[in-house]
Amino acid sequence: MSMSAIVVERSRLELRQFARQRGQMAVTFGMPVLLLVLLGVIGGGTVEGTNVSESRLHAAGMIAVGIVSAGFQGLALSVAAERHDGTLKRLRGTPMPPAAYLLGKVVQVFLVSLIQVAVLLVVGVAWLDLTLPHDPSRWLTFAWVFVLGVTVATLLGLAASGLMRRGANGALIILPFTALQFVSGVFVPFDELPDGVQRFAALFPLKWLTQGMRSVFLPDDFRAVEPAGAWELGRVALVLAAWGVIALVVWIRTFDWSGNER
């Protein structure tokens, strides 16, 4: 088989395996939607200094959370499990090129993230005052932010899986990710957070992915309440790309097909 054919078959297998894991599917698709609906019910006001509703702000933020959830959280746990139960060791003994395994994971995360975003957009437009942009340039921004976000989330998930030791609890992944949501402008306008918290959150990709999504789905006058008074899309791309490189290096240095602990 050609490399492309192997990748296609591996991608199909990854999607079938994901579909069989109902618990993971419920968390990946259900949790962001549930949080978004709850935030819409609890909220209802507008962000101070703007005419943007809080529910619209939350919708933009939860789109970023959905992307990271599908890649970072999902892959970190599933790949670590495959390493510890011997699946990776058995795969390494087959003629399948190692790159096909990686690309299969990338395709799976990309498609799951795409479905996740589509579901959140439907919920946001139907119930939470989210307005889809009419400017093609905004959709172009959405495209590159989405692709870069999925890529970084995938690499971070693979890197984290290599750091998880046998018997490690999933809370080691879930808890830090949940905490970052509270300081990255998902639930609370970023400019309302203390300066120290803002500087801390700016070190991590979720803050910048969330900001990129706000630039797509919120009006331009919302830039006035951003800490820099601008969307800073250049910095969004730079920080996400830097995290992608870091995650790739960590993954290469820590990934082990054998399942032996280092």
Residue-by-residue DSSP string for 85-117: TTHHHHHHTSSS-HHHHHHHHHHHHHHHHHHHH
**What is the pLDDT tens value at each position of the chain, 262 positions in all?**
788 898 899 999 989 988 887 777 777 778 888 888 887 777 668 888 888 888 888 889 999 998 998 888 888 888 888 888 888 888 888 888 888 888 888 899 999 999 999 999 998 888 877 889 999 999 999 999 999 999 999 999 989 888 777 655 667 788 888 899 999 999 888 988 999 999 999 999 999 999 999 999 999 989 988 988 899 999 999 999 999 999 999 988 888 777 655 4
Other Cβ atoms closer than 10 A to 91: 15
Classified as helix, coil or strand, 53 is: strand
Q: Name the residue among 121, 38, 109 with its Cα closest to residue 75.
A: 109
Give the dihedral sign, CA 159/150/176/100.
Answer: negative
Structure tokens at 59: 């919708």
Name residue 247's beta-bridge partners: none
List Cα–Cα distances, 147 to 64, 160, 205, in angstroms.
12, 20, 14
In the block, residue with structure tokens 């030791």: 165
Structure tokens at 55: 């529910």
